[in-house]
Structures are given as structure tokens and as C-alpha cells.
Amino acid sequence: MKRITTLAAFSLLSLALCNVNADENTVKQAFAKSMPDVKIDAITPSPISGIYEVAVGANIFYVSDNGKYLLQGRLVDIQTRTDLTEEKLSSTRLAALDKIGQKNMIVFTPKIKKYTVSIFTDIDCGYCRKLHSEIDQYLAEGITIQYLFFPRAGKGSESYNKAVSVWCADDRNAALTAAKKDQKITSKTCDNPVDAHMQLGEDFGVKGTPMIVTEKGNIYPGYLPAKQLVEALDAEKKPQ
């Protein structure tokens, strides 16, 4: 009797797992049919029964298990007041940054490394220039700055062309500093990651620059002085 009960339970579990896979395939098929250009990175059950969480690049969508309905927005646990979507977005942002790779960023490194932030910057943005004018203060606090370009005027603009020229310069760090001081730099073109930076910024929902992304994948829109940024980074490391 015990053996029969165990086999029955195992059969029910197998059936449940088959249904999960079937639902995931249904979601995949729905995307393939309606949005064939969308590359799905992961499909996982959400905390809501009948709803799947779909990761696409640095974005999270919620899709019904029949593949018919898609929700875009924030999923919040009312009881704990936790933004569940933000928790997942943090990890997808980090994965997207890793995909770009530090070799495709302009990096300012302190002598003693304590923290790392990635910053979307526009060469002609006033607060971006203010932040960079204080680069020594950030480095003194042990903050590694990884710059990605986000010329807000768009592709082909003067700011965009400056970004390409900075990337193609013999000394990118020096060229970026000069450009942010409004000094003339040599116009150059070459293979560059500027378009990839801009697309990533769009995926991250950049509305203005600078936009700071921390090692935890959290976002701080706008300029933060070095001391204030360190306080925020320290707070991230404390147990919640």
C-alpha cells in the first residue's frame, strides 16, 4: 500500500512538472509567433499562480501561462512592501553589464579598490561634467568608475560624435577628461561600443545623465558627490 501511494505521488509530481514545461513552451511559442525578434533569456514561474516571469535583456515581463496576456510593470509584495520586480531587475542589469564587459567601457581605477560603479554619461551634460571634474574624489574613496556613453541627443549628434572620437583616441581616459572640459579633441572613427552602450541605457530606462549603477544592480539617477555615493554603497552591503 505504501509503495502504491509513493508511486501515485511520484506520478502526480511528474504530471505537474510536465504541465510547468508545457506552460513555459506555450509562453515561448506565443513570443515566437507575436514577437519573433525578441530574445528570451529566461522564463520562470512568478509568485502569482498562472503568471510567468520572462527576462528579456535587462527587462522583466509577466505573461499568462496560456501565452495570451503580457503585463509590463512592477510586482509588489503588499505585506512586506517589497518591489519584487526591482529585485529581479538588479540581477538582470548586472548580467547585461557583464555582457558588455569592462573592456568596452572607459575605466578610472583607484589605487585601492573598494567599490565599483557603472555610470551612463553624456559628454555635454552639465552634471556629468561636474561629476567627472571630481573624479579624484571618487578615486580617493576607492570607487572604480566604469563609464558607458549615453549621448542624450541621439545617434549622429555632436555629443555622439564626441563619444566615438573619445573611444577611438589613443588615450581614452585623457580624451574623455578633455572633452568634458569642453576642450577640442581629434575627430576619429573606429569600431566602438557607443551604440551598444546607448541600447543598454534604453533597456535600463535611462531618463537623464549621469545615471549610476552599483555593484548590486541598484540605480541612482543623477549626480551624487563622492561622500554621499560611498554612504549609499556602504548601506548596500549591510544586511537587510
Residues designated catalytic: 122, 125, 128, 152
The length of the chain in residues reads: 240
For residue 196, what are the β-bridge partners?
A: none
Q: In terms of DSSP bridges, do strands 211-213 and 143-149 run parallel, antiparallel, or are they unpaired?
A: unpaired
Which of 104, 210, 223, 208 lies closest to 153, judged by CA? 208
Q: Is 234 exposed, middle or buried (CB count within 10 Å of its CB: 0-12, 13-18, 19+)? A: exposed
Contact residues for 73 (Cβ-Cβ < 8 A; gap 6+) = 62, 85
**Cell 555622439, located at residue:** 160
| Strand bridging mode 219-221 / 42-45 | unpaired
- Are 81 and 75 within 8 A, CB to CB? no
Of 71, 56, 112, the residue nearest 230 (C-alpha): 112
d(CA 84, CA 138): 31
